[in-house]
Amino acid sequence: MTILSIAADVLWILSLSIMASATRTAWMRMEPDTRVPMMGGRLSRNVALPLPIVVAFLIGMALLWGHRHQTQLAYDVIFFGLRATLAAVIAMLHLQWLKGAMATLQAEGALKS
């Protein structure tokens, strides 16, 4: 385990915590029977809100597995860059999706005030 691997782990943890915090805030503003817009369809709140976090966690674990099996410095740097970039991109995509979903639900009057 190298310092780059640990730094990438920290960035993934920060990314997942930002996603979880935003999801919790959205969760608190929705009724239990709310159907959240997602990829052209609607899923229940209990599925739609945690799903992106679970997918991000699985992507992070796959990248972690690949990173931990590299022994050369060049590959270590490449994996760090990949993991650091994807952590930020996935968190931003999640926040953009959540913002759009909340705006749609607000327009429909489906959110608590």
Q: Is 31 within the bounds of a domain?
A: yes
- Model pLDDT, residue 56: 97
Q: Are 36 and 42 in contact (CB under 8 A)?
A: yes
- Residues in the chain, pLDDT under 70: none
pTM: 0.90
Q: Is 72 within the bounds of a domain?
A: yes
**Quick one: which of 113, 104, 109 has its CA closest to 36?**
104
Domains contained in the chain, number: 1
Q: Is 113 within the bounds of a domain?
A: no
Domain that holds residue 65: 3-108
Q: Is 52 within the bounds of a domain?
A: yes
- Model pLDDT, residue 20: 98
What token pair was written down for 6?
Answer: 């640990």
- Model pLDDT, residue 40: 85
